Amino acid sequence: MRSKTKMVHGGITQDEKTGAVSVPIYQVSTYKQDGVGNLRGYEYSRTGNPTRHALETVIADLENGSHGFAFASGMAAITTVMMLLDSGDHIVMTDDVYGGSFRLMTKVLSRFELENSFVDTSDADKVEGAIKSNTKALFIETPTNPLLKITDLKQMADIAKKHNLLFIVDNTFATPYWQQPLDLGADIVLHSATKYIGGHSDVVSGLVAVKSAELAERIHFLQNSVGAVLGPQDSWLLMRGIKTLALRMEAIEANAKQLVGYLLDHHNVGDVYYPGLKEHPGHDIAQSQMAGYGGMISFDVGSGELAEEVLKKVNYFTLAESLGAVESLISLPSKMTHASIPADRRAELGIGDGLIRISVGIEDVSDLIEDMEQALGD
Ligand SMILES: *Cc1c(COP(=O)(O)O)cnc(C)c1O
């Protein structure tokens, strides 16, 4: 089955009993046992729920994994995966990972003596240089937010193998439609499914997929022990979102490419960051490991004042955090998603006050361009 077909026919897509073509929402916490310990497959919904199970099967399929897991949020997924590590272990992570992942590592898990180093993982030498005797895992996000930096996943897989590290990839920005890290050597792929996979700004959720039965067993044990599971209603919403993921990603990318072309020509716009651009750092790697470049664009208008003016003037780009939905969203990383990073560190990373990030939606691109035109001024 090819990717687009899997989104419709992958996983468990029907109800065996009734033939219902949409998986029913099993709004249930516990299950009748036919005798003590004689289960019909389910015992308690933290451990397993048929609606969640259907979703978990489809994400495993989409990522070419063997097992999937659904969590109450992307952060719940990441936290649970981190529980695979022990106190005293060290983990190497992409330096501009999602802010919530940075906070989890530096403000929460650091208290349990989980050590970390944040490095520019687009540079393999820096990754090698950061590995210590207690390094147990490598956590990569690619493309990153908001500069869309690219890390070579095959190269990271080699490093992970050489040093016997657990190789984890946050695939939120690319989605399984454009990038399949398990095929490139990752052990664990995870998502904030709140973003593209859900796709409609209506559900907070996280997904994990793996290809080893041994890892799957350990993650299921942790999922059940930690208990941050996704409820049946939200599981159903994600499955509904997944059915149109391919269509949305294609539409979003087509719009993104046109918007990038427009922005490049605008005299008020400086640098434009989009992995599909030939001059984008890591473009060649993106081209080799991604089937498409996605719908996230960042661009610099030179000053915080102009950036705020643009954000005030746009009509079709909703000013909001988050990304990956059918509606176009716009944000100012320096004042929003990355506000907690000190100004000098932000400057070091290249996140200036005039940097605007957009998550392109599926609107008519002519409306989006006209809107940007009136907001950017002439
Ligand atoms: C949003 C996001 C997360 C966190 O997911 P939540 O669903 O908000 O908990 C993790 N990683 C990336 C790349 C994200 O964009």
- On whether the CB atoms of residues 116 and 87 are closer than 8 A, the answer is no
pLDDT at residue 347, rounded to an integer? 83
Q: Which DSSP string corresponds to 111-170? A: GGT-EEEEE-TTSHHHHHHH--TTEEEEEEESS-TTT-----HHHHHHHHHHTT-EEEEE
| Per-residue pLDDT at 348 exceeds 90 | no
Residues 277 and 183 both lie in one domain: no
Q: Give per-residue burial for 217-252: e unless 16+ CB within 10 Å, then b.
A: eebbebbeeeebbbbbebbbbbbbbbbbbbebbebb
Residue 279: burial class (beta carbons within 10 Å; 0-12, 13-18, 19+): exposed
> What spacing in Å lies between the alpha carbon of 10 and ligand 1's midpoint?
24
Question: Which of ligand 1's atoms lies nearest the C-alpha of 145?
Answer: 13
Are residues 144 and 201 located together in one domain of the fold? yes
Number of domains in the chain: 2
Q: What is the mean pLDDT of residues 140-169?
A: 97
Copy the structure tokens of residue 265.
Answer: 């020509």
Query: How far apart are the CA of 322 and the centre of ligand 1, in A?
Result: 8
In contact, 255 and 360? CB cutoff 8 Å: yes
- Token output for 28: 């249930």
Same domain flag for 220 and 322: no
**Is residue 371 flagged as an active site residue?**
no
The domain boundary, picked from 243, 272, 303, lies at 243
**Do residues 299 and 313 share a domain?**
yes
Judge whether 46 counts as a catalytic residue: yes
Most ligand 1 atoms within 8 A of CB, residue of 103, 169, 172 to mutate: 172
Ligand 1: residues with CB < 6 A are: 73-75, 98, 100-101, 141, 170, 172-173, 192, 194-195, 204, 206
Mean pLDDT calculated for residue range 296-315: 96
Tokens for 134? 């207690």
As a whole number, mean pLDDT of residues 351-363 equals 96
Ligand 1 atom 4, closest CA: 74
d(CA 304, CA 323): 21
Q: Are residues 75 and 200 in the same domain?
A: yes
Q: Which range of residues forms the domain containing residue 55?
A: 3-243
Question: Within this chain, do residues 43 and 146 fall inside the same structural domain, yes or no?
Answer: yes
Find the CATH number of the domain harbouring 107: 3.40.640.10
Do 192 and 90 share a structural domain?
A: yes
368, 261 contact by CB (below 8 A): no
75 in the same domain as 31: yes
Confidence of residue 206 (pLDDT cuts 50, 70, 90): very high
Give the side-chain half-sphere CA count within 13 A for 32.
1
Calpha distance 365→326 (Å, rounded) = 12
Q: Whose CA is nearest to atom 1 of ligand 1?
A: 192
Q: For the chain, give the mean pLDDT.
A: 96
**Residue 128 shares a structural domain with residue 233:** yes
For the cut 90, the answer to whether the pLDDT of residue 264 exceeds it is yes
What's the whole-number mean pLDDT along residues 110-115?
Answer: 97
Query: Stretch 191-197: mean pLDDT, rounded?
Result: 98
Alpha carbon of 39 to ligand 1 centroid (Å): 35
Q: For the segment 318-330, what is each residue's pLDDT rounded down to a tens digit?
A: 999 899 999 999 9
287: domain CATH number is: 3.90.1150.10
Most ligand 1 atoms within 8 A of CB, residue of 96, 97, 139, 194 to mutate: 194
Percent of the chain with pLDDT over 70: 100
How many Å lie between the centroid of ligand 1 and the Cα of residue 171?
10
pLDDT of residue 14: 78
160 & 43 share domain? yes
**195 part of the active site:** yes
Residue 298 host element (H or E):
strand 296-300
pLDDT on residue 144:
94
312 is catalytic: no
Domain boundary among 177, 212, 243: 243
In this model, does residue 263 exceed pLDDT 90? yes
Q: Which two tokens stand for residue 364?
A: 């008519």
Please report the pLDDT score of residue 16 as a whole number: 83
Atom of ligand 1 nearest to the CA of 205: 7
Q: Which of 6, 136, 195, 357 is catalytic?
A: 195
Same domain? 50 vs 153: yes
Note the pLDDT of residue 340: 76
- When pLDDT is averaged across residues 51-76 and rounded to a whole number, the result is 98
Among residues 184, 209, 243, the one where a domain terminates is: 243
Asked whether residue 227 falls in the same domain as residue 277, the answer is no
- Average pLDDT, integer, range 86-105: 94
- The Å distance, Cα 331 to ligand 1 centre, comes to 15
**C-beta separation of 169 from 183 below 8 A:** no
